[in-house]
Amino acid sequence: MLRSKALGIGILLSIIFAVTAVPTGETNPGGIDPSISTLVEANGCSCHNIGDGDMNNPNSAVILNLTMPDNFTAGETYTLKLNISGGPN
């Protein structure tokens, strides 16, 4: 009886851990807009520095310039360059 109770508690704790271990995030529900013409926004950097809280209108005072390859190959090493300009002094 005691062993089955301990097993039940162990299973319950495992389930609780599994549920809370899943990472959460915030994304644009519609995904990346296919009509976007700039490379940085097309690669997903359209949500940073949102001044007025509107996810569809990022603040242009801060400019993110991300240099990266168009395609990635598993196992390869790549150099990514991120240049952030503008913003508060």
Per-residue pLDDT of the chain (89 residues; tens, 9 = 90+): 688 888 999 999 998 888 787 766 666 666 666 666 665 555 555 555 454 555 555 555 667 777 878 788 889 898 888 887 766 55
Residue written as tokens 């168009």?
Answer: 70
Q: Domain extents for the chain?
A: 34-89
Dist. CA 51–CA 61, nearest whole Å: 9
What pLDDT, on the 0 to 100 scale, is given for residue 11?
Answer: 92
Contacts of 33 (CB under 8 A, 6+ apart): 41, 46
pLDDT confidence of residue 3: 85
pLDDT at residue 23 in the model: 66
